[in-house]
Amino acid sequence: MGEVLERKTWYQGLLRYPDCFGHSIMPNIMNVTNILVNEDEESVLLMLPSFDQTDFGHIKYSFCKVNYEGKILNNIGSFSYLFTPTKMARTSKQSGEVSILITGYEHQLHFTKIDNDTIIYGYSEKYELNLIDNEGNCKFRIKRKAPIQHFTKNEKKKYEGVNLPDYKPFFHHIFTDSKDRIYVQRSLRKLSKKFIRSFDIYSKQGYFLHKASLPYSPHVIKDGYLYTLISFEDTGEEYVKRYKINNWVQIKTGIN
């Protein structure tokens, strides 16, 4: 059993940028907390969206380094995000609101910090992870051959009328632990009642170390403990649960 550390109701402020209509929207619709701040350089890494008014089912994201005044210092890359606009989304030019329907199968960009000098990012359309320095220069890439997972007939029927990509994303999340190991949460081949998450674990040098399976998605792994966030949408209540990792010392950090 995990240990509940803190329980509270909270509301998160959003960093916002203007969209193509002149309104303000979240810089990352799927995960607004995925913003990396470099206090020494007074800059942030984030995704800036722009809508194609001729194809409102796509968002184009620019993965950028931006200073505190909002000036783009470096555009690292651009990535597409496919979604299904709802009725509210179609009228967002008048209302200023953006409402979309998502399935969790959208290809999207994931990124996180490894250490003070290294950032890792990957676009889930393919299994390729890019390790860059703070200026956006590529140090090296991790590539892995993995089978493409197509949607089954039942899944297509379930999401009828929804914009689905041609195949499922290769991963859903990237994060690191206090030993600078890299965790890549893989897409499930099929859903199960227990909903077990599968992870590929790499060293910070890019070497594959382990596979792991967990019944939940960790938010932090630090100093032998795993922390996960439990939330209740109906009440807005959230709490952090901590689990001890019994074999923490035995887990490799490299190939030596």
pLDDT in tens, 46-58: 877 765 555 556 6
Please give the average per-residue pLDDT across 110-131, as a whole number: 93
Q: Cα dihedral sign for 191, 196, 202, 204?
A: positive
Q: Is residue 140 one of the residues assigned to a domain?
A: yes
Instruction: Please give the model's pTM, rounded to 2 decimal places.
Output: 0.78
Instruction: Give the Cα separation of 148 and 38 in Å (integer).
Output: 36
Distances from the Cα of 212 to the Cαs of 3, 32, 255, in angstroms? 21, 27, 17
pLDDT single digits (tens) 25-35:
333 333 334 57
Check: CB of residue 45 under 8 Å from CB of residue 111: yes
Q: Is residue 42 part of a domain?
A: yes
Q: How far apart are CA 151 and CA 203, in angstroms?
A: 32
Amino acid at 200: D
In a domain, residue 255? The reply is: no
At 28 the pLDDT is 38
Residue numbers of the domain that contains 209: 3-250
| Domain count across the chain | 1
* Domain membership flag for residue 256: no
Tell me if 207 is assigned to some domain: yes
**Quick check: 123 and 60 in contact, CB under 8 A?**
no
214 within a domain of the structure (yes/no): yes
Is 242 inside a domain boundary? Answer: yes
Contact at 8 Å (CB) between 228 and 219? yes
- Report pLDDT for 168: 93
Please state the φ and ψ torsions of residue 98, each to the nearest 5 degrees.
-120, 115
Dihedral sign computed on CA atoms, order 145, 220, 135, 27 = positive
Residue 131 lies in a domain: yes
Vertex 59, ends 133 and 71: CA angle to 5°? 45
Which pLDDT value is given to residue 92?
A: 46
